[in-house]
Amino acid sequence: MSGKFSHDDDSVVVIVGSGAGGGTLAHALAKRGINSVVLEAGKRYRMEDIENDEWEMFKKISWLDERITAGPRQLTETFPNLPAWIVKGVGGSTIHWAGVALRFQPHEFRLHSEAGDIAGANLLDWPISYEELEPYYVQAERHMGVTGESTGMPYHQWNNNFKVLAEGAKRVGYQKLRAGPMAINTQAYDDRPQCMQAGFCMQGCRFGAKWSTMYTDIPRAEASGHCEVRPNAMALQIEHDANGRATGVVYADGEGNLQRQKARVVCVAGNSIESPRLLLNSHSSLFPDGLANSSGQVGRNYMTHATACVFGVMPKPVHMHRGTTFAGIISDEARLDRSRGFVGGYTLEVMSLGVPFFAKFMDPSNGGWGRDITSALDKYDHLSGVWICGEDLPMEDNGITLHDTRKDQYGLPVPIVYKGDHPNDEVLRRHGQAQATKCYEAVGAERTFLVPDFPTSHNVGTNRMSARAADGVVNKWGQTHDIDNLFVSDGSQFTTSGAENPTLTIVALALRQAEHIAERMQRREL
């Protein structure tokens, strides 16, 4: 049963987005008896909607509203209107995330102090430390069901794809090889079954073995009576009063009618393109540059991780498509060690794609056809693949801006998603490609090849956290420096990207934020 809150009810927290950040926050608030209305632009899907089919699921759940890819990078040419791979639906990108649930390393919260100024990078320390976040990492791991110490669930058994990569990695001298931590059950946990090794984690888990707010936080928050989720509700503008306090959110409902939901607190969790876009689109005479933008940092410092893939053709069939998509992690290169010629580290993560996506992504450039391509495809079942997830330095000019004239179906300016590499990113990426190639050569690959970036899966940094109001958009609680009752609750808060996938940190921050909001509300400070 979902609570029904009236549009005029100004006691509710309005949360924009129902993914990793928004879904977690709504549930955590509900557990504390705090009422929220979640506005979610996408539809609600049922378990039966989840198919083991790459293109079908892509078409069904992706955010396909117009966006413009920009910047000196291959995606600008290969995916001019799909800079990022994000879900539009109740559950957000936790429907198709792959479940890798790594914590950031302590030094990654203070990369600026560790590394000093780096020309061209807008580097800043996080205003929180690892130690402050650690208890919330533990909570997040229990909450999501992450294999490892916090839950006691064992790591996954190594699937064929990881066996190959790990064997090569061992021969290269790597030691930190683990099939986890993953937010994918290896035993029944949290009323959800164990992983059936079906593959297709990136199309949604039909069994519910992988954590997703779609079938955990959202329905549980609704069942509590403290949360109402409104699907097909696209937030267009956050409104404020004369004192600059947020008062509510204007949104388009499923019929295209404009609605206004009043709010006591507004939390933005639309992922790192839509969150800053919403703040920018909410400009007013009081805030001509957009809400919470006195620093000028809204939409800036967009980070995507420095990524690439390497595939190897093995002498015998591997069947990489069998089993979890990403359960195999190598952390030896995640350390900070400038002797390698770059700042920051990277994680190597085993990955698989099905034939449809492999064919599309192997080389999407105009020249990516011919026998080079098909000879690899003919050996599809002999392939093993790995993804490089590397620290991507923040740069002020990488970011989200609004197009002057192009409008989307809601009449909002289309976002331009600009990203170029810092020289450090390039060195790191090349290092990762070379190391991954060595791993495959060491395990006897007949051929190895590089596969470029896909549309970005890890989008962070566009409303970054900072100690000082002049350096960023939100403080250590995700509260905007400028507006007390306006929060950012997703990955756009990240001050730096780390060498780890972002979602565990997003969830830990959201759990911590929920606690903070509840305390402040209790003290009538919000």
Report CA dihedral (152, 384, 442, 98) to the nearest 10 degrees. -30
Residues 301-340, one symbol each (x = binds ligand FAD by CB under 6 A, - = not), give: -------------------------x--------------
Question: CB neighbours (10 Å) of residue 51?
Answer: 13
Query: 486-488 and 36-39 as β-strands: parallel, antiparallel, unpaired?
Result: unpaired
Residues 488-517, one symbol each (x = binds ligand FAD by CB under 6 A, - = not), give: --xx---------xxxx-x-----------
Residues 438-477, one symbol each (x = binds other proteins by CB under 8 A, - = not), give: -----xx---------------------------------
Element (H, E) at 258: strand 258-262
Q: In what order do the strands lie in the sheet with 246-252?
A: 234-240, 246-252, 258-262
Element (H, E) at 280: helix 271-281
Q: Which does 210 bind (CB under 5 to 8 A by kind): ligand SF4, ligand FAD, other proteins, none?
A: ligand SF4
List 172, 198, 250, 336, residue binding other proteins (CB under 8 A): 198
Is residue 52 classed as helix, strand or coil in its secondary structure? coil
Classify each residue of 480-501 as buried b or exposed e, where b means 16 or more C-beta atoms within 10 Å of its C-beta.
bbbbbbbbbbbbbbbbbbbbbb
Q: Does 465 bind ligand FAD (CB under 6 A)?
A: no
List 126, 189, 200, 494, residue binding ligand SF4 (CB under 6 A): 200
List 39, 195, 416, 488, residue binding ligand SF4 (CB under 6 A): 195
Span 322-381, contacts to ligand SF4 by CB under 6 A: 323-324
Q: Which is nearer to other proteins, 200 or 477 (CB)?
A: 200
Q: Which does 503 bind (CB under 5 to 8 A by kind): ligand SF4, other proteins, ligand FAD, none?
A: ligand FAD
Q: Does 192 bind ligand SF4 (CB under 6 A)?
A: no
Round to whole Å and give the CA distance between 259 and 88: 20
Round to whole Å and give the CA distance between 462 and 45: 28
Q: Does 50 bind ligand SF4 (CB under 6 A)?
A: no
Alpha-carbon distance values, 520 to 37, 162, 199, 360 (Å): 19, 46, 43, 49
Q: Does 276 bind ligand FAD (CB under 6 A)?
A: no
Closest separation between CB of residue 293 and other proteins, Å? Answer: 39
Q: Does 256 bind other proteins (CB under 8 A)?
A: no
Q: Does 3 bind ligand FAD (CB under 6 A)?
A: no
Angle at 434 between CA 370 and CA 498, to 5 degrees: 110
Burial class (CB in 10 A: 0-12, 13-18, 19+), 6: exposed
Tokens found for residue 171: 């021969």
Residues 347-376, one symbol each (x = binds other proteins by CB under 8 A, - = not), give: -------xxx-xxx-----xx-xxx-xx--
Round to whole Å and give the CA distance between 480 and 156: 39
Q: Which does 158 bind (CB under 5 to 8 A by kind): other proteins, ligand SF4, ligand FAD, none?
A: other proteins
Element (H, E) at 522: helix 503-522
> Mind giving me the DSSP string for 493-521?
G-SS--SS-SHHHHHHHHHHHHHHHHHHH
Q: Does 45 bind other proteins (CB under 8 A)?
A: no
Q: Which is nearer to other proteins, 273 or 314 (CB)?
A: 314
Q: Does 76 bind other proteins (CB under 8 A)?
A: no
- Paired strand residues for 267: 15, 487
Q: Which does 184 bind (CB under 5 to 8 A by kind): ligand SF4, other proteins, ligand FAD, none?
A: ligand SF4
Span 385-444, contacts to other proteins by CB under 8 A: 443-444
Q: Does 46 bind other proteins (CB under 8 A)?
A: no
Q: Does 210 bind ligand SF4 (CB under 6 A)?
A: yes
Q: Does 278 bind ligand FAD (CB under 6 A)?
A: yes
Cis peptide, bond prior to residue 315, ω within 30 of zero: no
* Alpha-carbon 330 to chain mean position: 20
Q: Does 188 bind other proteins (CB under 8 A)?
A: no
Burial class (CB in 10 A: 0-12, 13-18, 19+), 379: middle
Q: Which of 85, 410, 458 is nearest to 278 (CA)?
A: 410
Residues 289-328, one symbol each (x = binds other proteins by CB under 8 A, - = not), give: -------------------------xxxxxx-xxx-----
Q: What does the binding site for ligand FAD look like in residue numbers (CB under 6 A)? A: 16-22, 39-42, 63, 85-89, 92-94, 96-100, 202, 234-235, 269-271, 274, 278, 326, 457-458, 490-491, 501-504, 506
Q: What does the binding site for other proteins look like in residue numbers (CB under 8 A)? A: 51-55, 157-160, 163-164, 167, 195-200, 206-207, 314-319, 321-323, 354-356, 358-360, 366-367, 369-371, 373-374, 377-378, 380-381, 443-444
Q: What does the binding site for ligand SF4 look like in residue numbers (CB under 6 A)? A: 184, 195-201, 205, 207, 209-210, 323-324
